[in-house]
Amino acid sequence: MKQEQLELRPGQSTELLKELHILTRDGRMNQDSRRKLKQVYHLYQFVEKLLLELPAGGEGATLADHGAGKSYLGFILYDLFFKQRTAGHIYGVETRAELVDKSRELAARLGFERMSFLNLSAAEAAGASLLPERIDVVTALHACDTATDDAIAFGLRKQAHFMVLVPCCQAEIAGCLRQNKALALSRTPLAELWRHPLHTRELGSQLTNVLRCLYLEACGYQVTVTELVGWEHSMKNELILARHTGQRKRSAAERLRAVLAEFGLQGLEPLRYPGL
């Protein structure tokens, strides 16, 4: 076996890896593609463990991938996990019609029959009849700004067992902090944390994810926050894993409201954190 192929899994589709530009057209793997494959495997391992926790070891599992883009994750998951099983379905949700069309064409060419690609936003997908009433796993990788919140709302509505979220470009709360900066500076010295524009952006991003974690806990999920090792090319590598327990935490809801009040963000509660 060639050195370039040593990292491939048994039965893995080389045609798929060529389409995803992980393998070159002649089946070789350069340093850049090795890094891509390492990243994909790293993320796959997180999701695979969750799928195996589902009834029957993930047989018949449903997964919705929001902000799917070129559906790298969906295709790899299907190739390495769903293809080996007789049931289960992956739904790729993406707003760019041209990417949806390309993913549909690739799935048809590879014979990945239990993959569907929907030209919808995460918010639209929550009520779309093209998706089932229940979804086992929700993923959203680098879904920009409030699209991650929409993916969380989707997961809550679909009673997802697991959510896997890598937030990106969290701008909404930073904008709110910016608007209220003068009032905050007169009220508390803590406003120095976001007085400078760069700090406003960074604090807004951090605060957004903290509030998302509290909201998930308040809605009955156990939350783990870690980072995607090997994604050094991206500063947005925070990974939020949420596992449904059904035990809503009142203390998390109280802390969420307290944090919103401390930063003057109470107006976001009915919009982003309903049902507390």
Length of the chain: 276
Quick check: is 24 in a domain?
Answer: no
Say if 144 falls within a structural domain.
no
Q: pLDDT per residue over 16-31, tens digit each?
A: 988 888 888 887 877 7
Does residue 237 form part of some domain? Answer: yes
pLDDT classification of 234: cutoffs 50, 70, 90: low
Residue 177 lies in a domain: yes
Q: State how many domains the chain has.
A: 1
Q: How confident is the model at residue 41 (pLDDT cuts 50, 70, 90)?
A: confident
Mean pLDDT taken over the chain: 91
Query: In which residue are the tokens 């060529």 written?
Result: 18
**Of the candidates 110, 120, 22, 131, which has an alpha carbon nearest to the alpha carbon of residue 68?**
120
- Confidence band (pLDDT; 50, 70, 90) for 38? confident
Which phi and psi (to 5°) does residue 89 adopt?
A: -150, 145
Query: For 189-210, how does the pLDDT look when each residue is reduced to its tens digit (9 = 90+)?
Result: 989 999 999 999 999 999 999 9
The model's confidence at residue 1, banded by pLDDT at 50, 70 and 90, is very low
**Is the residue at 198 inside a domain?**
yes
Q: Is residue 265 part of a domain?
A: yes
Mean pLDDT of 202-229: 95
Hey, what amino acid is at 74? Answer: G
pLDDT at 270: 94
Whether residue 271 is predicted with pLDDT greater than 90 in this model: the reply is: yes
- Residues 5 and 23: their CA atoms lie apart, in Å, by 9
**Distance between alpha carbon 37 and the CA centroid of its chain, in Å?**
19
In the chain, % of residues over pLDDT 90: 72
Residue 195's nearest CA partner among 179, 183, 181 is: 181
Q: Let me know if residue 190 belongs to a domain.
A: yes
Cα 30 from chain centroid (whole Å): 28
Q: Is the pLDDT of residue 2 over 50?
A: no
Confidence of residue 106 (pLDDT cuts 50, 70, 90): very high
User: Is 143 or 5 the better-scoring residue by pLDDT?
Assistant: 143
Residue 165 lies in a domain: no
Whether the predicted pLDDT of 5 surpasses 50: no
Looking at the chain, the whole-number percentage of residues with pLDDT higher than 70 is 95
pTM across the whole model:
0.92
What pLDDT, in 10s, does the model give residues 52-67?
999 999 999 999 999 9
Would the pLDDT of 231 be above 70?
Answer: no
Full domain range(s) for residue 256: 170-219+233-276
- Helix, strand, coil shares of the chain as percentages rounded to 5? 50, 15, 35
Contacts from 230-237 at CB under 8 Å and sequence distance 24+? 230/35, 230/38, 230/39, 230/42, 231/39, 231/42, 234/142, 236/142, 236/166, 236/167, 236/168, 236/169, 237/166
Q: Please give the average per-residue pLDDT across 36-65, as a whole number.
A: 91
